[in-house]
A = this chain, B = another copy of it.
């Protein structure tokens, strides 16, 4: 098993009505003013916004608001909120929303201390401090509520890149799964696929991390089963809660213990897809890329992929397991090809160039340009 380090200081409050604890914790941390960052307004419909405001008010914490973060969150919006945070002299950042809102909030928390936040993404500036960050999660998918990563898209350069720092772990994240009952099944399934992809980016990296592989199989099976249940009943709280918990654990460090940092080839490819077409949901994009990636690499490294075929799908061959995986994603209504996602054949070269801007595609299974081209053809 590979050596590894693990550190995750984020506190989690999990369950119904846990938002009530938000103001209490911020007050305990000495926060008197924060900037609340949100998306398009769904948090007014699912009840999160009202509960947050009530909790802040009761604790005597003042706030300003920054709305309008979109899916595949953008650099220009992030810069604008950083400016707002700086001008207000706020003491903390509060994200109320999904992964896009939380990632933006992380970039804001770090960005108030940098010349320009994009410098951190292109490794020109280092994150040395950040405002304390609090989050209230409203869709389980990215795992951003319990890690130190953020991904932002620079629309000028079409780069969807990431930062990673111990300074941007949320201090506290509140996960009330009941807030997610009003999501469409498509949103739920995209989130589930994102979590599945996070686990699979790690899963094939090392055959000897038996504890972590067994945990990852437990998470993968739970995610699939709970998503099936939610397709039948969006208000199934047990399914909602277990999907939420699994998605958080899929990318909080646990799923990668002893797995060499993971591969992240699928994310590299998908990020280029949704940088080119920001209307592509990250999870749905991964639903096309991940099975194709397994198909491509399964032939080269059969033993690593066979364990997955057996443990997840009770299949003795990788190809049968991939069929079962694709059938499952299709039964959830996800796209099954790049074409389905709205990518045109004439864009494949641009896509390939965007993907290969990333100098090290695949931390475990290195892919060169010709291999990625083949993979894109398979996925098209």
Partner of A5, one of B4, B11, B238, B245: B11
Q: Which of A336-377 contact B (CB under 8 A)?
A: none
Known: A2-B15, A245-B257, A258-B241. A219 touches B211 (CB 8 A): yes
Chain B residue with the shortest CB-CB distance to A216: B218
Whether a CB of chain B sits under 8 angstroms from the CB of A84 is no
For the complex, is A9 an interface residue (Cβ under 8 Å from B)?
yes
CB neighbours of A72 from chain B (8 A): none
Is there contact, CB below 8 Å, between B3 and A14? yes
Interfacial chain B residues near A8, Cβ < 8 Å = 8
Which residues on the B side are within 8 Å of A17 (C-beta)? 3
Q: In the assembled complex, which residues on chain B have CB atoms less than 8 Å from the CB atom of A209?
A: 242
Whole-angstrom distance from the CB of A10 to the nearest CB of chain B?
A: 8
Contact B222 A211 (CB under 8 A): yes
C-alpha gap A254/B14 in the complex (Å): 13
* Interface assignment of A316: CB less than 8 Å from any CB of chain B: no
A14 contacts across to B, CB distance below 8 A: 3-6, 257-258
Name A242's contact: one of B210, B222, B238, B254 (CB within 8 Å).
B210
Partner of A3, one of B4, B15, B214, B249: B15
- The copy count of this chain in the complex is 2
**What's the minimum C-beta distance from A236 to chain B, rounded to whole angstroms?**
11
State the CA gap A245–B253 with chains docked (Å).
13
Chain A 1-40 near chain B by CB (<8 Å), digits 1 or 0: 1111111111111111110000000000000000000000
Cα A336 to Cα B365 with chains together (Å): 49
Is B257 in contact with A254, judged by CB distance below 8 angstroms? no
Of the listed residues A4, A9, A215, the one surrounded by the most CB atoms of chain B closer than 10 A to its CB is: A215
Is A208 interfacial (CB 8 A cutoff)? Answer: yes
> Counting CB contacts under 8 A, is A129 at the interface?
no
**With known contacts A11-B6, A211-B249, A226-B210, A1–B218 Cβ distance under 8 A:** no
For residue A237, which residues in chain B have a CB less than 8 angstroms away from its CB? 1
Q: Which of B2, B210, B245 contacts A212 (CB 8 A)?
A: B245
Does A221 have its Cβ within 8 Å of any Cβ on chain B?
A: yes
CB contact under 8 A between A15 and B4, given known A210-B238, A214-B219, A214-B222: yes
| List of B residues within 8 angstroms of A5 by Cβ | 11-14
A208: which of B9, B219, B238 is its contact (CB, 8 Å)? B238
Complex contact A242–B4 (CB within 8 A): no
A217 close to B (CB within 8 Å): yes
Type the 1/0 row for A60-104, where 1 means its CB is closer than 8 Å to any CB of B.
000000000000000000000000000000000000000000000
Does A159 sit at the interface, judged by CB under 8 A?
A: no
Which chain A residues have a beta carbon within 8 Å of chain B's beta carbons? 1-18, 208-212, 214-215, 217-219, 221-222, 225-226, 237-238, 241-242, 245-246, 249, 254, 257-258
29 residue pairs from A and B, CB less than 8 Å apart: A1-B238, A1-B242, A3-B14, A3-B15, A3-B17, A4-B12, A4-B15, A5-B11, A5-B12, A5-B14, A6-B12, A7-B9, A7-B10, A7-B12, A14-B257, A208-B238, A208-B241, A210-B238, A211-B218, A211-B219, A211-B245, A211-B246, A214-B218, A215-B219, A215-B249, A217-B218, A241-B258, A245-B257, A254-B254
13 new A-B contacts, CB < 8 A, other than A4-B15, A7-B11, A214-B218, are: A1-B238, A1-B242, A2-B15, A3-B17, A6-B11, A7-B10, A8-B8, A211-B218, A211-B249, A215-B219, A245-B257, A245-B258, A254-B254
